[in-house]
Amino acid sequence: MSLNRKQSQYVDLPHSLNLGVNTSFTISVWIFSTGYNRATILSDCNTLNSVCIDLFEWSVNIYAYSYNWNKSDIYDWVVYEAWKVNYQSCWIHLAFSFDNQSNILSIYFNGQRMASKGFSPSRYATMQTNESRTSYIGKSPVSTNPSPFDGLIDQLSISYYVKKDSEILDEATLLCQYNFETDDINADSGPNNIPAYSKNVYQSFSNNQNNLLFNSTDSYFQSSGFTLLMSKFYAFSIAFWVRPIILKSDKLNSAIAILQFASKVQQVSSEIYVCFLSIHITNTATDKPYFRFEYGQLNMYSALDWHTVQNNTWIHIGVSYSNGSRFSIYLNGINQYFFDDTRFSLLLYNPRLAITIGGDYFDDMITNKSANYESRSCFAQNPQFNFTQMYGEIDDLKVFARALTHSEFANLARSKNKTT
């Protein structure tokens, strides 16, 4: 939703949200702000009493106010002073969580709890007769200071309970999640509903779980166009289960293409992506194949030759990137390797991303490929390898806009009962 303060644009809510009367609540919202004026995100005046709640930004700070709707006297307020973070002209996630039992309101910024303070609007409530005040998105009910919002608002949700910190963190940073548990194998079960594309993949069922099966020479699954949070440094994590079927090859330097992760090229059409990370299985002509992680066009790689990939066996893979330089690799929830190089930040200059499992291209749906299109795919950066198509299954593919911790990767690796 786009609101223009110069045109005094806002939305009337059809009725009060009843936030100021004896209830817990959690409000989550994405905003893209374009100014430093006081800007109301959401305001609510209860129809049964004189209390209003106002959630707004002002300069570089985030506020929650409760006040009297007639006198505008402030009762309680909570503020997060976000002056250390440049969040203008980029998407940020905010959450306001109020616990009616403890009378504490907390403000979350990009999934992190940043401020908590006493907040008890119901104690100031007084009965009103023959009066009403409207609740708004993008405007304050105080006529002398309407504080219109300027920018974009998306996915505004209101829940009448206190969400856990982990739930809010996932809302803010889980970009997409594909668990293949519905009839639509391309459906995103994460908070952003980003549909994927696929070709010649099928839903398989084993151990009371649905998985995605790759059994064709041109099978692939792809999600593209999602982006990261612009807070401090860009960061991401990828986690998924894979059960590769390793067919021994008679070619030298044979390799199986598992995953490609790419970033859109600046000032080039949206179909063009450059490789950021690729994962493949090498040494497939022997009994000791292993994972190899290639890092874009930096001519760097990590070969985990001490960890043999077991044929037809589930393994959980995790990768994280943070601080503009650090890559970490996890297998079955255990950190196997990490290293730092500041050149990684050059590959993530414009974090409009695509992720592909299987397939030699980022998007086989592009019919008119440019002459240099193949040279931009991850695996084409390695002409010394004879790449073959991936066969096998994947499950629970997740992409986060943050670096997961060691314990989070370990929990993901324990989250499903995977057997051969």
Q: Check residue 270 and give its pLDDT.
A: 52
CB burial readout 356-382, b (16+ within 10 A) else e: bbbbbbbbbeeeeeeeebeebbbbbbb
Mean local confidence (pLDDT), 375-390: 65
Q: Check residue 375 and give its pLDDT.
A: 40
Whether 212 and 393 have beta carbons less than 8 Å apart is answered as yes
Q: Which residues of the chain are in CATH 2.60.120.200 domains?
A: 2-163, 173-414
Q: Check residue 272 and give its pLDDT.
A: 66
The pair of structure tokens assigned to 265 is: 């090229």
Please state which of the ranges 92-101, 149-158, 245-254, 303-312 shows the lowest mean pLDDT.
Answer: 245-254
Mean local confidence (pLDDT), 238-265: 86
Q: Check residue 365 and give its pLDDT.
A: 42
pLDDT over 60 (residue 269): no
Whether 213 and 223 have beta carbons less than 8 Å apart is answered as no
More confident residue, 301 or 347: 301
Whether 84 and 50 have beta carbons less than 8 Å apart is answered as no
| pLDDT, tens digit, 9 for 90 and up, residues 363-380 | 444 455 544 444 445 665
Please state which of the ranges 127-131, 297-301, 367-371 shows the lowest mean pLDDT.
Answer: 367-371
Mean local confidence (pLDDT), 313-335: 92
| pLDDT, tens digit, 9 for 90 and up, residues 38-61 | 999 999 988 777 788 999 999 889
pLDDT over 80 (residue 352): no
Mean pLDDT for all residues in the chain: 84
pLDDT over 60 (residue 301): yes
Q: Which CATH number fits domain 2-163: 2.60.120.200, 3.30.342.10, 3.90.950.10, 3.40.50.11540?
A: 2.60.120.200
Q: Check residue 198 and give its pLDDT.
A: 87
Count Cα neighbours of 319 within 13 Å in the Cβ-side half-sphere: 19
Mean local confidence (pLDDT), 239-256: 87
pLDDT over 70 (residue 350): no
Q: Check residue 286 and give its pLDDT.
A: 85
| CATH classification (class only), 173-414 | mainly beta
Q: Check residue 228 and give its pLDDT.
A: 75
